[in-house]
Structures are given as structure tokens and as C-alpha cells.
Chain A
Amino acid sequence: AQSVTQLDSHVSVSEGTPVLLRCNYSSSYSPSLFWYVQHPNKGLQLLLKYTSAATLVKGINGFEAEFKKSETSFHLTKPSAHMSDAAEYFCVVSDYGGSQGNLIFGKGTKLSVKP
């Protein structure tokens, strides 16, 4: 069975400092992994995805994530936080690349960015 654990429910950083949002997964198969962002009163937006190609995945808005099979982790990073990055972030795992519709979402990490 698949599962995903986001290790921090809330992360607070200052503008211009690095961002690290941690995610560990469990999957019986070779997983597909995703990060989504949700701004208040908005839908979910895909940041990036890993589907067994390069282990370092670059996404939109300067975010990237590294797939580490030995650590079953898929942490999201950004070198320098911007005020507009304040939002909730979800780590997602799915077998079959999500083609069966049943994505497994983490509980989310709320990112606050201080001026």
C-alpha cells in the first residue's frame, strides 16, 4: 500500500532564505511522485513530478525536488523564498503514474514567508 508522510505541518522562513519541505513515501512499486501547491481559495497547481527519469526534478517557480530511493524521500527545496511562495504544499504518491485517478496526498505543509 502506498502512503506519504509530510514531516512538518508548518514551516516558516524569511524572504530570501532557503526553503525545505520534507516528504517521505512508501510504495510497493516504482512510484510516481508529485508536489502540488494550493494558494488560499485556489485549486491545486502541479509544481513538479518524478516518474523514474532523472532523480533531480526541476519544477516551476524555482522549486526542485530530489528522489532518494534509499531514503524513500522526495524533499522539496527552493534556494530563496519569495513572499508569493506562502501557500500549502502537498506531496503526492501514486502507482501507475496516477493514471488510475487514486493519488495519495500527504497532509500538507503550510509555508509562511516573513518579510
Chain B
Amino acid sequence: EAGVTQSPTHLIKTRGQQATLRCSPISGHTSVYWYQQALGLGLQFLLWYDEGEERNRGNFPPRFSGRQFPNYSSELNVNALELEDSALYLCASSLFRGQGAGGYTFGSGTRLTVV
């Protein structure tokens, strides 16, 4: 069974640009979660999508947004990039809403570097 796949693996952008990160969950999983792992700040919850809707959001500005497509894959968009957005962005999926963290499968992440 294929795991959670994220693309691209690495992304380099200039300050002020927009970045788009993609995540494909495990087949059959309907929930997708996004986390940011920034140096010195640790892992922080960004967004949760389930059945195409945003269900919960962490303490991040509105320029962090995303969506979930009918096939349950997801996209994270970061607008007006700032240097401090440089981080590893991790995506996780779970079989259904409310399954809990014991059911999360994480991808290997997208390393975003803002220069």
C-alpha cells in the first residue's frame, strides 16, 4: 500500500512569492492534516481537511490556506512568502474524521526554503 506522498520534496521560493505544496493521502483516507516543522519552533498544527472541507485551523495567518479535492488529495498554499516560512511541511492522513492521532500516517514532507 502506498503511503502518504508529498510533492515536491524541496521547494525554493523568493520572498513575496506564492508556494503550493501537494499531498496525496493513503487510498481510502478522507482526512488530511498539515503541520509546519520550523527550526526552533517545533511541529505546529496548520490545517485539517475532511470530506473536502476545512475542519480546524491552527494559529497561522490567513495567507496559509489550502483545499481538499474530491479524490481527498490536498493542496497547501502559502501566499506572500516570508523568510520565516522556511520549514518542513508535513502532511498526514487518517481513515476518517475523529479517528484520532493513533491513526495518522505522515508523509516525508516538503522542505520549503524562502530566500
Q: Which residues does A use to contact B, with CB under 8 Å?
A: 32, 34, 36, 41-46, 49, 51, 90, 92, 94, 96-108
Contact = CB atoms under 8 A, between A and B. Distances in A.
Contacts of B62: none
Interface of B: 3-4, 31, 33, 35, 42-45, 47-48, 55-56, 58, 90, 92, 97-102, 104-109
Given A36-B106, A102-B58, 20 more contacts: A34-B101, A42-B108, A43-B105, A43-B108, A44-B104, A45-B106, A46-B101, A51-B100, A51-B102, A94-B101, A98-B101, A98-B102, A99-B98, A100-B56, A101-B47, A102-B48, A103-B45, A105-B44, A106-B42, A108-B42
A-B interface, 5 closest residue pairs, ranked by CB to CB distance from nearest? A98-B101, A101-B48, A43-B106, A97-B100, A105-B43
Contacts of B4: 43
A106 B33 CA distance: 18
Contacts of A96: 100
Contacts of B45: 101-104
Contacts of A105: 35, 42-44
